[in-house]
Amino acid sequence: MFLAVLPSFAADSIAAIDKDKVSIFLDGARHAGDCKLEESLLLTELHQLHFPAGWRIAIVCTSLRWQQILQQRDLHYNTRGFTNLKSQLTVLDGVIFREFPSNYRHIIAHELAHIQCQCRDETMAERIARDLEHAAKLTQDAARIAGKQIPQAIPASDLPEKTGSLVAPRFSLKDH
């Protein structure tokens, strides 16, 4: 889903990890280990779904926090992610990573499609998302045939530890 106005993030209120010039933010994490699985799965998807350099992706780690964001932004209750092109920010409901990989891959691809088409058109984004998913599958198949290692989810134990001061439960929802 595309959203015209998104939250702004204060640097001291969230944890950020720079992976290939894409920053990943964790919102709603109370402890250093919260959201590690979701972060690991997102990083795996970013091997195939390439967001532009400088883009920010936020994972909202708790359902309660996600519902708060949806209510504050007046979004539909079944929204699973949204993107702001102007702010170069995509926000994902962390619960998607507890579903089948094809489900969360599609949501990530859909948000990336909005970025690629620079549009709000949901039909266009869906069309592009399907193309992105198909291209990612072809790349994985080609790697498998060539005998190359296919990126897998990074075990949570291998992710960098975050101190409690870096993982904050909220981000600011100020308009730009």
- pLDDT > 70? residue 159: no
84 vs 33: CA distance, rounded Å: 28
pLDDT at 142: 79
176 vs 9: CA distance, rounded Å: 10
Please name which of 94, 83, 85, 119 lies closest in space to residue 1, comparing C-alpha atoms: 83
Strand, helix or coil for residue 62: coil
8-18: per-residue pLDDT in tens? 333 333 444 55
| pTM to 2 decimal places | 0.74
- Choose between 93 and 136: higher pLDDT: 93
pLDDT at 141: 79
pLDDT at 151: 57
The residue ranges of every structural domain in the chain are 11-158
The CATH H-level superfamily of 11-158 is: Metalloproteases ("zincins"), catalytic domain (3.30.2010.10)
Phi-psi bin for 20: left (phi > 0), alpha (psi -120 to 50), beta?
left
Amino acid occupying residue 2: F
pLDDT at 102: 94
Which residues, listed in sequence order, are joined to residue 2 by a DSSP beta bridge?
83
Q: CA torsion 51→103→73→169, rounded to 10°?
A: -80
- pLDDT > 70? residue 175: no
Q: Quick check: 85 and 54 in contact, CB under 8 A?
A: no
Q: Which residues contact 102 (CB under 8 A, 6 or more apart)?
A: none
- pLDDT > 70? residue 149: no
80 vs 58: CA distance, rounded Å: 12
- pLDDT > 80? residue 128: yes
Q: Which residue has tokens 């619960």? A: 95
- Choose between 2 and 87: higher pLDDT: 87
Q: Which residues contact 160 (CB under 8 A, 6 or more apart)?
A: 17
- pLDDT > 70? residue 7: no
Instruction: Share the mean pLDDT of the chain.
Output: 79
Amino acid occupying residue 32: A
Q: Residue 20 — very low, low, confident or very high, per pLDDT cuts 50/70/90?
A: low
